[in-house]
């Protein structure tokens, strides 16, 4: 498309006095001016000479077609007609208060579409214009011809109107699409003015309430090259950011990641939950040739992502096993045409579908594979908390050696990170970008879980009623049954709650998920099947009614709170009984028998969670960040965790010798005691005023089981009623001898009253 054609089209459509956008998408809307002072309160009067109204879709958003692509074949007449449909909106702030919520949202979506269209015209013109040297976005934009430059003014007015509508919606507490950068800005109180040139590209902003950049593995000097604004794609990238995604600035590391992948480098991005990883591959996909293939672990996640992208008019498709042959043919045709910018699929499809294999090979041979994205890349490593064997067998590097890889995750320790790089065969010079995992707006606390189920459900209810009335939240439960019982309980207490778990039909699950996102349900009682990829901004609390299986999982699950950057709470219910139950479920599950190595990993991940819960001294935030090998000064916690708020003193005590005594009681009575019986037996034996309490003995015994100094075996108890669960009895464990030789230290964090003389 030549600039001359744009210029001609623009000139023929430029109205005499002022421009106004005509918005409307249905025949009935065409009959009345949607944005006129006469019919719509809050909007200025229309100019005198009006072009005929056209539906928005006909005017410049042809259905089923990609907006960015649709311009290429447009004739000057078509363009003129589309441009004629663009006129400018002015909003009278006082009168806008009278707009209904529905009208506001409607205006907003139409403004978004209009903004995208104008920018596309500008972008095409800028690309076609002769470069004035330097290649920066500012210099490129200066070179565009006058008539097209006139559109920029129009665009700026639209952007201001959009910003106004977004902030009005926010003030009214309305839920907008979360991906709206303008909304973020209004939340953060930044300037509503839209300077859409270099500043956005050169000065990345932080994600709300997320500290950034604890350490990077790629040196700062090396990163400088990816902060430049003179790449051939820089102008396009700025426009894509603003006009396709509706965002104003990049967050920390997004710009570098995008430039690195567009430069053909392998990239590893470690960014906290809600940090904005998707943009790191979605934006580059729209800035270069070919198709970006995204490997993502969950079908529901894939479907959600693709429909959000399609709503933004981005040509994205997915390929999944259960598709009809017609759908497959459609996908193949679209892919072959080179129109598809993003193709999502599961790792299983990559490893086992010959159909997909052929498509990828054909794209590869035609140089149309832009990059592979491995989302949730921690699944590649068996050291991660969510290992998926198919992720390990992708073989992308060997099958498509010249295609750059981009791996992203929110959760990876150093060990997992280096394992992922090795498994994926990332180039040794892969650009590695990490951000601090600190979510400063989240408040962490651990509470003692009452023994009786009814009491602990009541406690959940009390917390929600007292602190989160009318606020959205998630309660994570261990089992399907627990989700259902808790949801029923809350509903009886007049809290709108729903259960969500993998045992439910998928349409029921999506209905519940969308009901929650639309605020029809306040609380979701869910297993960890719920949450991945859910981008709800104002989740004010995440309660773990049972223990998470790992600190990584905990971080990820709590990370669903406060994605809008506002204060939110993460409350973990902890009991010894739960930790034991979870341990034996994980380790002895008949459905999923574990290899000895997997058992070891699962055991140690859970033990870290138990340690985290039982530690009443250390700052929770520092502990979480330490897990990800990041240092955090507890003084900066500012009492945003229960331990930093606590006035009680706890100390870490070495109980190795006491543990040896406990072990000797078990050796003398193998299979005689359950945990509770042994705790009361040894506490009786010890006696005395400075003794360890029975509860603390219970903790010690559980710790000895975790460390394999003791082991449990389940036996039926014929004297108990038939419905009673079988009891587990204690024996010496495989590491008992190590303990006796004092080579297995056992320490516990305890209130200082028990510390007398035993502080470690």
Ligand X SMILES: Nc1ncnc2c1ncn2[C@@H]1O[C@H](COP(=O)(O)OP(=O)(O)OP(=O)(O)O)[C@@H](O)[C@H]1O
Binding site for ligand X (CB under 6 A): 178-179, 181, 184, 247, 249-251, 254, 271, 273-279, 410, 533, 535, 559, 563
Closest distance of CB 559 from ligand X, Å: 6
Least Å distance, CB 183 to ligand X, is 9
3-state SS assignment for residue 121: helix
**Nearest to ligand X of 91, 262 (CB atom):** 262
Closest alpha carbon to 670 in 725, 719, 715: 715
- Cα distances from 390 to residues 281, 298, 386, 600, 686, in angstroms, run 21, 12, 12, 21, 53
Beta carbon nearer to ligand X, 381 or 603: 381
Cβ-contact 444, 621 below 8 angstroms: yes
State which residue, 411 or 456, has the beta carbon closest to ligand X: 411
Q: Closest CB to ligand X belongs to which residue? A: 276
CB of residue 196 to ligand X, shortest distance in Å = 14
Question: How far apart are the C-alpha atoms of 427 and 686, rounded to whole Å?
Answer: 60
Residue 364: CB minimum distance to ligand X, A: 27
The contacts of residue 63 (CB under 8 Å, 6+ apart) are: 57
DSSP 159-185: HHHHHHHHHHHHHTTPPPPTT-HHHHH
CB-nearer residue toward ligand X: 43 or 280: 280
Taking the complex as a whole, how short is the minimal distance between the CB of residue 226 and ligand X, in angstroms?
A: 16
Quote the DSSP letter at residue 752. G
Residue with Cβ nearer ligand X (247 or 666): 247
CA distances to 655, 665, 667, 738, 744 from 741, rounded to whole Å, are: 14, 16, 15, 5, 8
**Residue in the block written with tokens 């919606």:** 169
C-alpha to C-alpha distance for 597 and 593, rounded to whole angstroms = 11
DSSP tag of 44:
P
Nearer CB in complex with ligand X: 89/412: 412
From 670, 668, 674, 662, select the one nearest 717 (Cα to Cα).
674
CA neighbor of 114 nearest in space, from 169, 201, 54: 54
In the complex, least distance from residue 242 CB atom to ligand X, rounded to whole angstroms: 10
Residue 687 C-beta: closest distance to ligand X, Å:
52
294 - beta bridge partners? 344, 373
Whether 180 contacts 246, CB under 8 Å: yes
Return the structure tokens found at 256: 């570098």
Nearer to ligand X, 312 or 710 (CB): 312
Select from 152, 161, 310, 153 the least CA-distant residue to 239. 152
Query: Which residue's CB is nearer to ligand X, number 35 or number 377?
Result: 377
Given a contact cutoff of 8 angstroms between Cβ atoms, the answer to whether 333 and 308 are in contact is no
Closest approach, Cβ 178 to ligand X, in A, equals 4
Residue appearing with tokens 């309490």: 693
The least CB distance from residue 532 to ligand X, in Å, is: 7
Residue nearer to ligand X on the CB measure, 2 or 307:
307
Give least dist CB 611 to ligand X, A: 25
Following CA atoms 589, 592, 594, 599 in sequence, which dihedral angle do they give, to the nearest 10 degrees?
-50
Please give the structure tokens belonging to residue 631: 């240092």
Beta carbon of residue 186, minimum distance to ligand X (angstroms, whole number):
12
Nearest to 710 by CA among 754, 683, 740: 740
CB of 187 to ligand X, least distance (A): 10
Residue (125 or 240) nearer to ligand X, CB: 240
Identify whether the C-beta of residue 757 lies closer than 8 Å to the C-beta of residue 693: no
CB of 665 to ligand X, least distance (A): 47
Q: Which is nearer to ligand X, 179 or 348 (CB)?
A: 179
Query: Please, how many CA atoms are within 13 Å of residue 135, restricted to the half-sphere of its CB?
Result: 7
Residue of 571, 575, 510 whose CA lies nearest to 544: 571
Q: How far is the CB of 282 from ligand X (least distance, A)?
A: 8
Minimum CB distance to ligand X smaller for 195 or for 648: 195
d(CA 325, CA 180): 36
Cα–Cα distance list, 47 to 16, 22, 110, 705 (Å): 9, 11, 19, 79
Nearer to ligand X, 410 or 424 (CB): 410
Q: Which residues contact 618 (CB under 8 A, 6 or more apart)?
A: 634, 643
- Answer whether 342's CB lies under 8 Å from 294's CB: yes
Cβ proximity to ligand X, 535 vs 611, nearer residue: 535
Compute the least distance from the CB of residue 537 to ligand X, in Å.
Answer: 7
- Residues paired with 509 in a beta bridge: none
Extended strands (E) in 640-737: 650-654, 710-715, 727-732
Shortest distance in whole angstroms from residue 276 CB to ligand X: 3
Taking the complex as a whole, the smallest distance from the CB of residue 513 to ligand X amounts, in Å, to 15
759: which DSSP letter? B
Closer to ligand X by Cβ: residue 276 or 347: 276
* Parallel, antiparallel or unpaired: strands 747-751 and 650-654: antiparallel
Please say which residue, 251 or 392, places its beta carbon nearer to ligand X.
251
The residue among 359 and 625 lying less far from ligand X, judged by its C-beta, is 625
* Backbone region of residue 565 per phi and psi (left: phi > 0; alpha: psi in -120 to 50; beta: other values): left
Give the DSSP letter string of 195-237.
--SHHHHHSPBPPTTB---S--SS-HHHHHGGG-S-STTHHHH
First-last CA distance in the chain: 75
Q: Give whichever of 184 and 461 is closer to ligand X, judged by the CB atom.
A: 184
Supply the minimum distance, in Å, between the C-beta of residue 605 and ligand X. 19
């Amino acid at each position: 498309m030549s600039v001359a054609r744009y210029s001609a089209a623009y000139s023929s459509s430029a109205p005499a006095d002022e421009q106004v956008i005509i918005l409307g998408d249905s025949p009935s809307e065409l009959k009345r001016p949607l944005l006129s002072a006469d019919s719509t309160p809050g909007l200025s009067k229309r100019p005198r000479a009006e072009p005929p109204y056209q539906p928005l879709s006909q005017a410049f958003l042809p259905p089923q077609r990609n907006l960015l692509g649709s311009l290429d074949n447009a004739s000057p007449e078509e363009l003129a007609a589309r441009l004629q449909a663009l006129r400018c909106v002015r909003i009278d702030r006082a009168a806008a208060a009278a707009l209904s919520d529905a009208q506001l949202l409607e205006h907003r979506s139409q403004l978004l579409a209009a903004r995208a269209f104008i920018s596309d015209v500008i972008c095409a013109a800028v690309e076609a214009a002769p470069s004035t040297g330097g290649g920066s976005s500012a210099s490129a934009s200066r070179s565009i011809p006058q008539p097209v430059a006139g559109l920029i003014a129009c665009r700026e007015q639209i952007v201001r109107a959009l910003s106004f509508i977004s902030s009005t919606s926010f003030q009214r507490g309305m839920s907008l699409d979360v991906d709206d950068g303008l909304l973020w800005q209004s939340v953060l109180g930044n300037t509503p003015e839209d300077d859409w040139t270099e500043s956005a590209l050169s000065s990345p902003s932080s994600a709300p309430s997320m500290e950034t950049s604890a350490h990077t593995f790629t040196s700062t000097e090396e990163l400088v090259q990816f902060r430049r604004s003179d790449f051939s794609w820089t102008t396009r990238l700025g426009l894509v950011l603003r006009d396709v995604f509706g965002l104003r600035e990049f967050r920390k590391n997004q710009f570098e990641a995008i430039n690195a992948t567009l430069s053909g480098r392998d990239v590893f991005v470690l960014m906290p939950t809600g940090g904005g990883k998707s943009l790191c591959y979605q934006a580059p996909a729209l800035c270069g040739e070919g198709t970006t293939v995204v490997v993502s672990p969950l079908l529901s996640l894939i479907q959600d992502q693709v429909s959000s992208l399609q709503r933004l008019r981005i040509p994205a498709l997915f390929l999944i096993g259960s598709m009809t042959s017609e759908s497959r043919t459609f996908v193949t045709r679209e892919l072959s045409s080179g129109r598809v910018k993003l193709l999502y699929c599961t790792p299983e499809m990559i490893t086992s579908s010959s159909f997909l294999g052929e498509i990828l090979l054909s794209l590869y041979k035609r140089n149309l594979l832009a990059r592979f994205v491995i989302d949730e890349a921690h699944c590649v490593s068996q050291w991660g908390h969510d290992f998926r064997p198919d992720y390990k067998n992708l073989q992308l590097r060997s099958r498509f050696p010249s295609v750059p890889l981009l791996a992203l995750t929110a959760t990876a320790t150093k060990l997992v990170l280096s394992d992922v790089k090795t498994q994926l065969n990332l180039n040794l010079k892969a650009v590695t970008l990490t951000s601090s995992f600190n979510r400063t707006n989240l408040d962490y606390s651990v509470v003692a879980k009452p023994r009786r189920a009814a009491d602990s459900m009541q406690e959940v209810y009390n917390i929600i009623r007292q602190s989160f009335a009318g606020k959205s939240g998630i309660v994570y439960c261990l089992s399907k049954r627990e989700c259902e019982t808790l949801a029923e309980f809350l509903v009886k207490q007049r809290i709108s709650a729903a259960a969500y778990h993998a045992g439910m039909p998928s349409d029921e699950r999506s209905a519940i998920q969308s009901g929650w996102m639309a605020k029809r349900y306040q609380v979701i009682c869910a297993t960890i099947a719920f949450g991945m990829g859910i981008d709800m901004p104002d989740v004010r609390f995440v309660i773990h009614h049972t223990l998470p299986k790992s600190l990584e999982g905990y971080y990820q699950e709590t990370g669903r709170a406060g994605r809008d950057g506002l204060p939110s709470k993460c409350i973990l219910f902890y009991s010894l009984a739960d930790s034991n139950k979870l341990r034996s479920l994980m380790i002895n599950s008949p459905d999923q028998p574990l290899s000895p190595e997997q058992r070891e990993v699962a055991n140690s991940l859970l033990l870290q969670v138990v340690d985290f819960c039982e530690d009443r001294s250390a700052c929770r935030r520092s502990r979480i960040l330490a897990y990800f090998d990041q240092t955090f000064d507890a003084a900066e916690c500012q009492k945003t965790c229960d331990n930093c708020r606590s006035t009680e003193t706890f100390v870490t005590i070495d109980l190795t010798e006491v543990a040896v005594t406990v072990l000797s009681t078990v050796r003398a009575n193998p299979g005689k005691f359950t945990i509770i019986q042994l705790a009361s037996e040894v506490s009786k034996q010890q006696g005395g005023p400075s003794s360890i309490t029975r509860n603390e003995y219970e903790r010690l015994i559980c710790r000895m089981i975790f460390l394999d100094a003791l082991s449990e075996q389940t036996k039926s108890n014929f004297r108990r009623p038939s419905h009673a669960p079988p009891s587990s009895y204690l024996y010496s464990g495989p590491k008992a001898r190590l303990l006796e030789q004092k080579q297995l230290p056992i320490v516990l964090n305890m209130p200082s009253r028990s510390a007398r003389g035993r502080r470690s």
